[in-house]
Structure 1
């Protein structure tokens, strides 16, 4: 069996903790692979923008759950300003 690569965003690389959450859910992982690199960039930037560890954990969980629900971008996030 080959190791499945987790795609990155345009500017940001997918952090290890987010990779673990995605790998734990085949549905979320498939959705992650299906969204555009710009959309992945927005999710990563949103997760990494958290100031507290608890907020980051919640955002990672929400990313996984939202992807499983078919959402393609983080809600109420204006988009990554690094692109």
Structure 2
């Protein structure tokens, strides 16, 4: 079984511990995660980590797992990570 060290992050953002733990507990979501591009993973990470409130972050992780489990490759209605151009990715 994969562990957090084997789950890839994004092009700019590292995979945060809470999202990694959630992915490890959701095999269907993890399967999509492993199949998407680093840029797509970056979008999910930035989308999950961007809210100010912990409550919103928790909701986004839950919604993200559900969406990834259904094969959704990018967060819906997200304009994209504002950091990727700054990071060169």
What corresponds to 2:55 in structure 1?
54
How far off its partner does 1:3 sit?
A: 4.2
Count of residues paired in the alignment:
83
Contact 2:3 2:24 (C-alpha < 8 Å) held by counterparts: no
> For 1:3-82, what aligned pairs fall within 5 Å after superposition?
3=3, 5-82=6-83
Query: Any idea what the Cα deviations from partners look like across 1:17-58, whole Å, max 9, x if unmatched?
Result: 000110001111111000000000000000110110100000
How far off its partner does 1:2 sit?
A: 6.5
Large movers: runs of 4+ above 2 Å: 1-4
Structure 1, unmatched stretches of 5+, are none
Note closer, same or farther for the CA distance 1:17–1:3 as it changes in structure 2 (3 Å cut).
closer
Q: What TM-score does the superposition give when structure 1 sets the normalisation length?
A: 0.94
Note closer, same or farther for the CA distance 1:57–1:36 as it changes in structure 2 (3 Å cut).
same
- C-alpha distance in 2, partners of 1:71/1:30? 11
RMSD between aligned alpha carbons? 1.4
Q: What TM-score does the superposition give when structure 2 sets the normalisation length?
A: 0.88
Structure 2, unmatched stretches of 5+, are 85-89
